[in-house]
């Protein structure tokens, strides 16, 4: 009996060690700063693209570099592109494994709509400091701090908070926090419902692994190393607290962040709200699939709340 107990103990220790090792590996893949090879983002400037003009403008436009310090002491960097005479500003958040240089299509669109544009590098991305990606939960406070900085540094009286993918989820999470009066609306493209939901989904999609217990172990490691759990990073819970207008955009063929997540968030949001499902569009590709329709839809929504 004693030998059996020892054997069971050894197996248990091996299993626990294996889970911790696997969790540490997936922490490195999903949370730690670094190259994310499973995410492909094109930087090609093609004249055939519907957003060529917007990307070209963004590439060559004169940019101011802004710096803030986050609440936990990180130096964060953003580009600010003014629109002469405008008192409207958009704070624009990029997606997972992205950076501010990839946001030309959206930045160009908002600039054409009359907005000053502020595009930060989120923590642990681009030129900003940080060793851990926050899946929107840590970034939500940074986004709101950028909004406050816009008010301090410019004559802005109206702010739109916008983002794509993880940036969209972070903005949705930010919508549930206390707002400054200058923030008038949110526009989010391809947000996920929670860190736990999207990481569980992608564990199956990318690695054909069940969520339990790997995601839970990785979440515990994330709590120790980055200060939050996947369960805390909950956009559904946050959007229920939001009282500002919010527009959600999603492609019906999104296989990176399932379309149902935008639908779930929309159902939980209070009025005023809008959901635009773009038939055939993939992850954050609605803007490149039909730029005139995308621009018109965003403009029509914001025209109700931004003057």
CATH code where residue 137 lies: 3.40.50.1820
Q: Nearest Cα to 269, choosing from 173, 135, 195?
A: 173
Let me know if residue 146 belongs to a domain: yes
Residue 36's pLDDT is 61
pTM of this structure: 0.92
Is the residue at 288 inside a domain? yes
The predicted structure's pLDDT at residue 10: 40
Do you find a cis peptide bond into 134, omega within 30 degrees of 0? no
Query: Has residue 206 been placed in a domain?
Result: no
pLDDT score of 302: 98
Q: Is residue 248 part of a domain?
A: yes
Cβ-count burial 31-47 (b if 16+ within 10 Å, e if not): bbbeeeeeeeeeeeeee
The per-residue pLDDT for 19 is 54
Q: Which domain holds residue 89?
A: 50-194+233-303
In a domain, residue 13? The reply is no
pLDDT at 9: 42
Contacts with 31 (C-beta within 8 Å, 6 or more apart), sequence order? 132, 133, 135, 218, 222, 225, 226
Round to whole Å and give the CA distance between 161 and 306: 12
Whether 19 is in a domain gets the answer no
Task: Specify whether the CB–CB gap between 51 and 242 falls below 8 A.
Answer: no
Whether 5 is in a domain gets the answer: no
Give the per-residue pLDDT at 12.
Answer: 38
> pLDDT value at position 207?
76
Are the C-beta atoms of residues 122 and 128 closer than 8 Å to each other? yes
- The whole-number pLDDT of residue 2 equals 59
pLDDT in tens, the chain (307 residues): 555 555 444 443 444 455 566 668 879 888 988 876 556 666 677 888 999 999 999 999 999 999 999 999 999 999 999 999 999 999 999 999 999 999 999 999 999 999 999 999 999 999 999 999 999 999 999 999 999 999 999 999 999 999 999 999 999 999 999 999 999 999 999 999 999 999 999 988 877 778 778 899 999 999 999 999 999 999 999 999 999 999 999 999 999 999 999 999 999 999 999 999 999 999 999 999 999 999 999 999 999 999 8
Helix (H, G, I), strand (E, B) or coil at 110: helix
The per-residue pLDDT for 21 is: 67
Burial of 57 per CB tally in 10 Å (0-12, 13-18, 19+):
middle
Structural domains in the chain (count): 1
């Amino acid at each position: 009996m004693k030998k059996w107990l020892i054997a069971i103990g050894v197996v248990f220790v091996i299993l626990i060690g294996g889970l911790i090792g696997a969790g540490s590996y997936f922490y490195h893949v999903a949370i730690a700063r670094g190259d994310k090879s499973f995410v492909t983002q094109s930087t090609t400037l093609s004249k055939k693209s519907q957003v060529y003009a917007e990307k070209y403008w963004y590439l060559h436009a004169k940019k101011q570099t802004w710096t803030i310090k986050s609440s936990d002491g990180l130096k964060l960097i953003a580009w600010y592109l003014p629109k002469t005479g405008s008192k409207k500003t958009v704070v624009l958040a990029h997606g997972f494994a992205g950076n501010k240089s990839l946001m030309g299509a959206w930045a160009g669109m908002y600039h054409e709509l009359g907005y000053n544009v502020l595009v930060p590098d989120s923590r642990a991305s681009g030129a900003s400091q940080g060793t851990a990606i926050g899946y929107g939960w840590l970034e939500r406070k940074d986004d709101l701090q950028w909004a406050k900085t816009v008010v301090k540094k410019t004559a802005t009286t109206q702010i739109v908070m916008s983002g794509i993918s993880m940036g969209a989820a972070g903005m949705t999470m930010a919508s549930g926090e206390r707002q400054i009066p200058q923030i008038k609306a949110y526009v989010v493209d391809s947000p996920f419902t929670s860190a736990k939901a999207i990481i569980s989904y992608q564990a199956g999609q990318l690695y054909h692994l069940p969520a339990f217990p790997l995601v839970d172990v990785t979440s515990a490691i994330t709590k120790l190393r980055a200060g939050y759990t996947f369960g805390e990073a909950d956009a559904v819970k946050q959007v229920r607290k939001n009282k500002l207008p919010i527009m959600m955009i999603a492609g019906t063929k999104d296989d990176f962040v399932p379309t149902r997540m935008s639908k779930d968030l929309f159902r939980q949001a209070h009025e005023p709200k809008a959901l635009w499902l773009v038939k055939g569009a993939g992850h954050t590709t609605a803007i490149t699939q039909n730029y005139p329709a995308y621009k018109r839809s965003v403009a029509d929504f914001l025209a109700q709340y931004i003057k």
